[in-house]
Chains A and B, each alone.
Chain A
Amino acid sequence: MRSIKMKRDLLIVFYISMILFNCSRENGLSQTSSASSDSVKSLDALDVGLATTISIHFTYEQRQGKYIYTKYCSVCHGMEGKGDGFNAFSLDPKPRDLSNEQYMKSFTDDRLVETVREGGRGVNRSPLMPSWGGRLTKDELLYVIAYVKKFAVSTDTHK
């Protein structure tokens, strides 16, 4: 009789501890399954002040690329990459339209970097496109390509 009671008590204790354990795992497994997507959402929900500036629309690379592009490239390729910079009308052949999605998609990043680094003559195109390998560092070339690729995304708003 006594042993049955003991078993019952043990059972109660077991249940209580299970409940305790369940309560304490609030951050546990339930989050793991969808860990990555959840954290992205909550990052966006973080308070970031007034979101009207360039840093919201661009990643770090694209932002750096924008400054480089504006300084070196926009005179011919234009601020929006359409190949209509103020210097474009005196050039023949005309500067490439960088907002042409189909054309831009046919190149890998490496090839685009090579084109900027070696210039037109390095990739059997017009020598009017100078080679920027001596001026821009490896990282800067990657930045500028990251930015240039944004032109060809049709839904994007350029700021």
Chain B
Amino acid sequence: MNKLRIYFAISSVVFLFVLAISPLKDFFSEWRGYQLAYNEIIKELPQRIQPVDIGIKQLWVRKLDVVDRCTTCHLGLKEKALVNAKEPFRSHPHIYHDFEEFGCTICHNGQGSATSYKESKGKVKYWDKPIFPREYMEASCGKCHKEQVVIQAPILSLGRKLINEYNCAGCHKLEGRQRQWVPSLNGIGSKVNRSWLVNWLKNPKAYFATAKMPNFQLSDDEANTIADFLMTFKSFSNNAILEPLPSLLIQSSESQTATLVEIGSTRLRESRCISCHPFNGKGGYVATDLGKVASKVNLRWLYNYIKNPKHFQPNVEMPRYRFNNNDLTGVVAYMNSEYVDFDMAEPPSHTPDPLYYEKGLVLVKKYNCRGCHEIENIKNSEELGPDLSFIGSKKLYEIDFGLSGISQSLSSYIFTKLKSPRTFSSKMKMPNYELSDEQAQAIAVALLGNTSEQIPEELKIKPKPASTFTPQGKFGKLVNDLACFGCHTMFGRGRLVATDLTLEASMAKQEWIDHYFKVPYSLRPILTERMPNLFLSDDEIKTLVDYMEKVFIADSLTNDILINEATVAKGKLLYSEKYGCGSCHQINGKGGFVGPTLDKVASRLQPGWILHWLKNPQAYKPESIEPNNNFTDHEAEAITAYLMTLH
């Protein structure tokens, strides 16, 4: 009996101690240590900072269903004085969102309800959303911001741009991404020479470094078979037929060729091919490199293509230059003599496989060439690669890391996959895009933002619907023929290589536009991308200018400016003394080279435009780097008056 009592006493004491451990553990917990350390640190600072009440802090964001206890230890997030403090007390960088409104884990991932360092970072078993490494942070912006360009997230924006450029949507399903235009392969047999094609298939970047086509890592046999197969596609879409070459290009004496080449050289420069096409890496970025084009295509195709590009590639954004026969012959002769690849390696000799057509077809389907290129009689295969619409929410156990030995996280998986696509298994088909680290990281950021998380619709920022502006009639035909959208934007459609034309008639004077079509020149001499001389007829120029004067105009921008000596003098002073406009603009050979020269600005621009532009340049061209000086009405009018005296 007594023994039992003793046992009872002992066990009660044991239980008492065991119970005491739990509050003690809490008392000596990690977060309490941080909070005490925080209160010590802020005492030493000159600024007065409210000490923290000891206890677990929690943020509850109802609309996103987020519960975060990060602020238990990250105590200085809102204290500007703690910019350089050590973690976890450092203040949060300035961003456009308040963390109290959105929570922490919605952007950073990690385990919000955890209260220890290790667990909150989420690098623990069974937690598949570990905290985002710093260089992939911008992926979180992409969860809600679905528009193409997010100004505050440049890495994300670059990634989205690259996804379009490299045409990922050709093989992968990607929400909101359309396939981009890529040259059709119909008629490729009448266009390129076979040796070039084999070399190109084996390594496109060897032909020119900025080639968009990826390296499929084909064996010699595969490349030869695909080349044989593709060379059978001799006829173009729309039944387009190659005209025979003019006799001068086939047979001509040396002196005749010399004159032709000289004409061609001049015309080629006038037509500013370099605005869109790079030549051996130097020049525009819109179109392909022409530095070695004469070794790629045959003369007959080149002659016919320049004569009428859309005849052979209906959706290509290349203008049809109005060359006369002699000029065109010259241009082709010049390109043939100048843009040759002298180092082109002849591929090893190869006896065609008797079954090359069948084998080629299988290979073309295997590598999904049709994903990007249109090929006659080959159906658009269903998306070949995995669906990437929700790749950011892929679970770690779904990923096969193979024998790669990389760290097991989704971000490093996507990064490695982009850098060397066949690391994880040699059976994979994804080609190598030879991306730089920065490019691969940017694409990974854009992809990681595609999550299946439930974000309330009202918080999502959707992309602007694409503009459907399609001019009709004579003007519409000309715009299509001259591929204006390839460089200019009109009503939200087109590229911004050159200026936005939406308000052109309100901006420039009619006579100036008229003259500019005949003799284009660059307003900013430092630019590579300049308006080409399209050799338009007077009738065509009239059609263009008439339409612009009726449509590309805004009534709100017509103002009359009072020009008298006093305002002009005042404007001149403001221009040179107060606002230092001369640091960017030139007048009479004095000034900077950033903005357009203002020498004859009065014969170019409308006074109303100058006035409105000065007041808020970015209202008309958001990408302009002109500073907004907050001019008063009087100042803006005076400067306009001064500029209108410069004829």
Residues of A within 8 A of B (CB): 2, 6, 9-10, 13-14, 16-17, 20-21, 24-25, 27-29, 31-32, 35-37, 39-40, 42-43, 46-56, 59-61, 63-64, 67, 71-72, 75-76, 86-87, 90-91, 119-121, 126-135, 139, 142-143
Identify which of B259-267, B378-386, B574-582 touches chain A.
B574-582
Q: How far is the CA of A25 from the CA of B411 in the complex (A)?
A: 34
Decide yes or no whether B566 CB sits under 8 A from chain A.
no
Given contacts A121-B578, A121-B579, 11 further A-B contacts (CB under 8 A): A14-B17, A27-B30, A32-B37, A49-B133, A49-B409, A50-B412, A87-B592, A128-B580, A128-B583, A131-B629, A135-B628
Closest to A17 in B: B17
**Shortest distance between the CB of B370 and any CB in chain A (Å):** 34
Q: Render B1-26 as a binary contact track against A, CB cut-off 8 A, 1 for contact.
A: 01000100110011001101100110
Q: How far is the CA of A97 from the CA of B580 in the complex (A)?
A: 19
Which chain A positions have C-beta within 8 A of B121?
A: 46
Q: How far is the CA of A128 from the CA of B96 in the complex (A)?
A: 32
Identify which of B82-90, B182-190, B228-236, B469-477 touches chain A.
B82-90
Decide yes or no whether B294 CB sits under 8 A from chain A.
no
Which chain B positions have C-beta within 8 A of A120?
A: 580
Q: How far is the CA of A13 from the CA of B24 in the complex (A)?
A: 18
| B33→A49 contact, CB < 8 A | no
Q: How far is the CA of A32 from the CA of B519 in the complex (A)?
A: 76
| B14→A31 contact, CB < 8 A | no
Which chain B positions have C-beta within 8 A of A46?
A: 121, 123, 131, 133
| A56→B407 contact, CB < 8 A | no
Decide yes or no whether B72 CB sits under 8 A from chain A.
no
Q: How far is the CA of A31 from the CA of B30 in the complex (A)?
A: 7
Which chain B positions have C-beta within 8 A of A20?
A: 17-18, 21
| B86→A29 contact, CB < 8 A | no
| A56→B134 contact, CB < 8 A | yes
Specify which of A29, A121, A133 is in contact with B630 (CB 8 Å cutoff). A133
| A54→B627 contact, CB < 8 A | no
Q: How far is the CA of A75 from the CA of B121 in the complex (A)?
A: 42
| B37→A35 contact, CB < 8 A | yes
With contacts A53-B135, A135-B628 taken as known, whether A87 is within 8 angstroms of B584 at the C-beta atoms is: yes
| A9→B10 contact, CB < 8 A | yes
With contacts A46-B123, A53-B441 taken as known, whether A39 is within 8 angstroms of B33 at the C-beta atoms is: no
Q: How far is the CA of A38 from the CA of B475 in the complex (A)?
A: 69
Q: List 24 A-B residue pairs with CB atoms under 8 Å apart, sorted by A's residue number.
A: A6-B9, A17-B20, A25-B24, A32-B33, A35-B33, A36-B85, A36-B89, A39-B88, A46-B121, A49-B133, A49-B135, A49-B409, A49-B412, A56-B135, A86-B593, A90-B592, A121-B578, A121-B580, A127-B579, A128-B580, A129-B583, A130-B580, A134-B627, A139-B94
With contacts A35-B34, A72-B625 taken as known, whether A59 is within 8 angstroms of B412 at the C-beta atoms is: no
Which chain A positions have C-beta within 8 A of B409?
A: 47, 49
With contacts A6-B9, A49-B133, A53-B438 taken as known, whether A71 is within 8 angstroms of B415 at the C-beta atoms is: no
Decide yes or no whether B95 CB sits under 8 A from chain A.
yes
| B87→A39 contact, CB < 8 A | yes
* Residue of A9, A25, A48, A139 ringed by the most chain B CB atoms within 10 A: A48
Decide yes or no whether B437 CB sits under 8 A from chain A.
yes
Q: How far is the CA of A24 from the CA of B89 in the complex (A)?
A: 27
**Shortest distance between the CB of B210 and any CB in chain A (Å):** 20
| A55→B627 contact, CB < 8 A | no
Which chain A positions have C-beta within 8 A of B93?
A: 59-61
Decide yes or no whether B217 CB sits under 8 A from chain A.
no
Specify which of A10, A28, A54, A55 is in contact with B30 (CB 8 Å cutoff). A28
Decide yes or no whether B591 CB sits under 8 A from chain A.
yes
Which chain A positions have C-beta within 8 A of B34?
A: 32, 35
Which chain B positions have C-beta within 8 A of A67?
A: 154
Which chain B positions have C-beta within 8 A of A134?
A: 627-630
| B33→A29 contact, CB < 8 A | yes
Q: How far is the CA of A134 from the CA of B72 in the complex (A)?
A: 39
Specify which of A10, A61, A130 is in contact with B13 (CB 8 Å cutoff). A10
Decide yes or no whether B136 CB sits under 8 A from chain A.
yes
| A24→B25 contact, CB < 8 A | yes
Which bucket holds chain B's interface residue count? 35 or more
Which chain B positions have C-beta within 8 A of A121?
A: 578-580
Decide yes or no whether B331 CB sits under 8 A from chain A.
no
Q: Render B402-421 as a binary contact track against A, CB cut-off 8 A, 1 for contact.
A: 00000101011001000000
Decide yes or no whether B491 CB sits under 8 A from chain A.
no
| A39→B415 contact, CB < 8 A | no
Specify which of A25, A55, A87 is in contact with B25 (CB 8 Å cutoff). A25
Which chain A positions have C-beta within 8 A of B95?
A: 60
Closest to B25 in A: A24
Q: How far is the CA of A114 from the CA of B593 in the complex (A)?
A: 26
Specify which of B28, B85, B117, B152 is in contact with A25 (CB 8 Å cutoff). B28
Decide yes or no whether B526 CB sits under 8 A from chain A.
yes
**Shortest distance between the CB of B502 and any CB in chain A (Å):** 21
Closest to B37 in A: A35
Which chain B positions have C-beta within 8 A of A142?
A: 94
Which chain A positions have C-beta within 8 A of B123?
A: 46
Closest to A43 in B: B87
| B14→A131 contact, CB < 8 A | no
Decide yes or no whether B29 CB sits under 8 A from chain A.
yes
Decide yes or no whether B594 CB sits under 8 A from chain A.
yes
| B28→A55 contact, CB < 8 A | no
Q: How far is the CA of A73 from the CA of B72 in the complex (A)?
A: 41
Specify which of B17, B117, B437, B579 is in contact with A50 (CB 8 Å cutoff). B437
**Shortest distance between the CB of B308 and any CB in chain A (Å):** 39
With contacts A50-B437, A130-B579 taken as known, whether A143 is within 8 angstroms of B94 at the C-beta atoms is: yes
**Shortest distance between the CB of A70 and any CB in chain B (Å):** 10
**Shortest distance between the CB of B492 and any CB in chain A (Å):** 22
Which chain A positions have C-beta within 8 A of B49?
A: none
Specify which of B13, B33, B136, B152 is in contact with A64 (CB 8 Å cutoff). B152
Q: How far is the CA of A56 from the CA of B32 in the complex (A)?
A: 31
* Residue of A16, A20, A31, A90 ringed by the most chain B CB atoms within 10 A: A90
Closest to A34 in B: B37
| B133→A53 contact, CB < 8 A | no
Closest 5 CB pairs of A and B: A32-B33, A134-B628, A28-B28, A17-B17, A127-B580
Closest to B32 in A: A32
Q: How far is the CA of A130 from the CA of B591 in the complex (A)?
A: 14
Q: How far is the CA of A71 from the CA of B96 in the complex (A)?
A: 21
Specify which of B41, B134, B437, B628 is in contact with A48 (CB 8 Å cutoff). B134
Q: How far is the CA of A89 from the CA of B93 in the complex (A)?
A: 36
Decide yes or no whether B523 CB sits under 8 A from chain A.
no
**Shortest distance between the CB of B378 and any CB in chain A (Å):** 38
Decide yes or no whether B36 CB sits under 8 A from chain A.
yes
Q: How far is the CA of A87 from the CA of B96 in the complex (A)?
A: 33
Decide yes or no whether B315 CB sits under 8 A from chain A.
no
Specify which of A25, A36, A71 is in contact with B88 (CB 8 Å cutoff). A36
Which chain B positions have C-beta within 8 A of A75?
A: 594, 625
Which chain B positions have C-beta within 8 A of A49?
A: 133, 135-136, 407, 409, 411-412, 415, 441
Which chain A positions have C-beta within 8 A of B94?
A: 61, 139, 142-143
